[in-house]
Amino acid sequence: MDSGKIIDGKDISSKIKDEVREETKKLLFERNIIPGLAFIIVGENVASKVYVKSKGKACEEIGFHSVTKSLPETTTETDLLRIIHEFNNDKSIHGVLVQLPLPKHINEQKIIEAIDYKKDVDGFHPQNVGRLSIGQKCFIPCTPYGIVEMIKRSKVDTNGKNVVVIGRSNIVGKPMASLFLRKDLNSTVTICHSATKDIKAFTLQADILIAAIGKPEFVKGDMIKEDSVIIDVGINRVDDNTVPKGYRLTGDVDYNSCFGKVSKITPVPGGVGPMTIAMLMRNTLDSASQIIYE
Ligand code: GUN
């Protein structure tokens, strides 16, 4: 197997966390600041609980202060807004993260907009979304930010390249497109989505393909360009009776049919996934050091 083709998200994320850990020590020593991150989780979504637990563990490993508020499914919007305001006003907290999705009776956008944009380490507040789209300093959403780091650290040339993003979510697809458009990456960007006609006609033109649609193994080998770079954002559970757990995790890319054709590819698991948490740590440290906003 040609392991030189694999972009190892575990290895890159671990390096980023080491960098953040070192800078965190320096911040404490020089300015007596400990980065603080507050997690709010509403309801019993199993995947959300797992994510928040891993994010809290990363804080501990790096030397951040972290608080997790786990609220019942029945929490009202008013109660959730009050808790957000408390963290907004808490000087020991530099990042406020409300884990999504929220229960249906809560207006998600209203909650996102209640978070102080200077503590919005998810980069979902319209202030950060807007600043990203006009190329100003801001918090960048962690998954697309992680993809940029993987691309840069793997020395993938993006200048003038065709980048195709499949998926138009606010968390991945749209910010990803904004980032590739910025002068530092300087790519030509296309976003495909559920209404796109003949997706294959677009993906075959992609020097860099970002798959973020949430459909297991959607991208097949015959849909990609020879020597392209494939970034798989998907984490899908599919039934598999041949393993004790009864399921396996797979991405949005059919890894086996693509591998022979690509110049680089991210695996699932161990690709984009671990990068997201590393970039959350980076954003929280940058918030505490007031690198993004004074
Ligand atoms: N749910 C899925 N991904 C994310 C994320 O990056 N941040 C938050 N807050 N919720 C999510």
**What are the structure tokens assigned to 211, written together?**
């798959």
100 C-alpha to center of ligand 1: Å? 5
Low-confidence ranges of the chain (pLDDT < 50): none
Which burial class, exposed, middle or buried, applies to 117 when counting CB atoms under 10 A from its CB (0-12, 13-18, 19+)? buried
Q: Among residues 99, 119, 225, 286, which one is catalytic? A: 99
81 C-alpha to center of ligand 1: Å? 18
- Predicted confidence (pLDDT) per residue in 87-142, tens digit: 999 999 999 999 999 999 999 999 999 999 999 999 999 999 999 999 999 999 99
Would the CB of 275 count as within 6 Å of ligand 1? Answer: no
214 DSSP assignment? -
CATH topology of domain 31-116: Rossmann fold (3.40.50)
CA atoms within 13 A on the CB side of 254: 11
Question: Which residue blocks in 108-192 are alpha helix, DSSP H?
Answer: 108-114, 126-133, 142-153, 173-181
Q: Among residues 120, 122, 252, 254, which one is catalytic? A: 122
Would the CB of 7 count as within 6 Å of ligand 1? Answer: no
Residue 1 has what pLDDT?
59
Q: Among residues 17, 55, 118, 264, which one is catalytic? A: 55
Identify the residue whose C-alpha is closest to ligand 1 atom 9: 99
Cα–Cα nearest to 7, from 161, 142, 180, 154 = 154
Identify the residue whose C-alpha is closest to ligand 1 atom 1: 100
Binning the chain into helix, strand and coil, the percentages to the nearest 5 are 40, 15, 40
Would the CB of 27 count as within 6 Å of ligand 1? Answer: no
**What's the rounded Cα separation, in Å, for the pair 249 and 216?**
9
**What's the rounded Cα separation, in Å, for the pair 85 and 79?**
10
Helix (H, G, I), strand (E, B) or coil at 209: strand
Catalytic site residue 122? yes
Residue 193 has what pLDDT?
97
Catalytic site residue 200? no
Output the CA–CA distances (angstroms, integers) from residue 159 to 7, 189, 263, in the order listed: 19, 11, 17
**Bond prior to 144 in cis (omega within 30° of 0):** no
**What are the structure tokens assigned to 67, written together?**
């608080």
222 C-alpha to center of ligand 1: Å? 32
**What's the rounded Cα separation, in Å, for the pair 235 and 102?**
19
φ, ψ dihedrals at 208, nearest 5° = -130, 125
Identify the residue whose C-alpha is closest to ligand 1 atom 8: 99
Identify the residue whose C-alpha is closest to ligand 1 atom 3: 100
Atom of ligand 1 nearest to the CA of 100: 10
Which of 2.60.120.200, 3.40.1390.10, 3.40.50.720, 3.10.560.10 is the CATH number of 142-273? 3.40.50.720
Residue 294 has what pLDDT?
86
Residue 243 has what pLDDT?
94
Q: Amino acid letter at 138?
A: C
Q: Residue ranges per domain, the chain? A: 31-116, 142-273
If phi > 0 it is left, if psi is from -120 to 50 it is alpha, else beta; for residue 224 that is: beta
Cα–Cα nearest to 38, from 76, 91, 77, 79 = 91
Atom of ligand 1 nearest to the CA of 142: 6
**What's the rounded Cα separation, in Å, for the pair 95 and 84?**
11
3 C-alpha to center of ligand 1: Å? 30
**What's the rounded Cα separation, in Å, for the pair 79 and 81?**
5
Would the CB of 252 count as within 6 Å of ligand 1? Answer: no
Cα–Cα nearest to 68, from 35, 38, 88 = 38
Catalytic site residue 55? yes
Strand 95-98 to 229-232 pairing? unpaired
User: Do 31-116 and 142-273 fold alike per CATH?
Assistant: yes
Would the CB of 115 count as within 6 Å of ligand 1? Answer: no
